[in-house]
Amino acid sequence: MSTALTEIPGWYIEFQAALLRQAPRPGEIDQVTAEGWTSNQKGLREKLAGCLLPQASVVPVKPAKPELLLKPVGTVVIPATTVPFVDKDYFKLKRDGGICSSLGDNFTNWFLSGDGKTEDPESEQMLRYHKLRKSSVDGPIITELGGEAKAETTLAEMFSLMEKQKNGEDGVLLDNGFSNIFYIRDKNGVLRAVLVHWRGGGWDVGADSVGSPVRWRGGFQVFSRNLDLEPSESSAPVQV
């Protein structure tokens, strides 16, 4: 086969494919015709351009915006503490002079057993609380909050909110049977999901692994340090 035949341009091959497979079969193009097409590509292209099928316009498809799990509701200011927070001194059942209607086994084992957990005093803090739009396990929630550092809160902060509503008063904590979720490190430094909900005239406190397959229900409330997520409705910080 001559060099001329091997140099027939790719646009011509594409043109032939566009003509509904009407290209000549092998052996139907003689040497003179092939060389003419090769030497007069510009003219051939101009004459045949009108026969080409128009290319379909490509409309870019905008990727769908992922639906967020959390709806920011508002912020709450937690007062500064001046002494260490010893959890065993505060998380007590009502019969023992505390404000808790029950303390779950996981919470007791991970936070209160042995010497329990002691947290250092801290300056005034601001937390944001979010409504969970739909059911979810902890992993996606923590990711949307910006990671563990922004998701993490403390026992002292959680208890400050519980104490403000110890008799069922109105406040930022849900008291309708839905859970309030806090991500707190236990006495061994492991991040846990700690849940608080109102039951039996007091606060029911439990804890679960952040790797648990259990899904939190939509409508539950999540607390974090992520102040970057703006609330859908303007609201001033609540003072505790």
Q: How far apart are the first and last CA of the chain?
A: 90
Q: What is the pLDDT of residue 228?
A: 78
Nearest-angstrom CA–CA distance, 162 and 183: 15
Instruction: Tell me, yes or no, whether 122 and 22 share the same domain.
Output: no
pLDDT digits (tens, 9 = 90+) for 88-125: 999 999 999 999 999 999 999 999 999 999 999 999 99
pLDDT digits (tens, 9 = 90+) for 34-63: 666 566 766 666 666 665 556 656 677 776
125-132 and 221-224 beta bridge pairing: antiparallel
**Does residue 58 sit within a domain?**
no
Kindly report the backbone phi and psi dihedral angles of residue 76, in degrees, each rounded to the nearest multiple of 5, phi listed first.
Answer: -140, 140
Instruction: Tell me, yes or no, whether 136 and 186 share the same domain.
Output: yes
Instruction: Tell me, yes or no, whether 119 and 36 share the same domain.
Output: no
Q: How far is CA 117 from CA 87, 114, 132, 184, 194, in A?
A: 6, 9, 29, 11, 14
When divided into structural domains, the chain yields a total of: 2
Judge if pTM exceeds 0.85: no
Nearest-angstrom CA–CA distance, 189 and 184: 9
Write out the two tokens for 121: 């005093």
Q: What is the pLDDT of residue 62?
A: 72
pLDDT digits (tens, 9 = 90+) for 191-208: 999 999 999 899 999 999
**Does residue 213 sit within a domain?**
yes
Q: What is the pLDDT of residue 28?
A: 59
**Does residue 93 sit within a domain?**
yes
> Could you tell me the residue range of the domain that residue 21 belongs to?
3-51
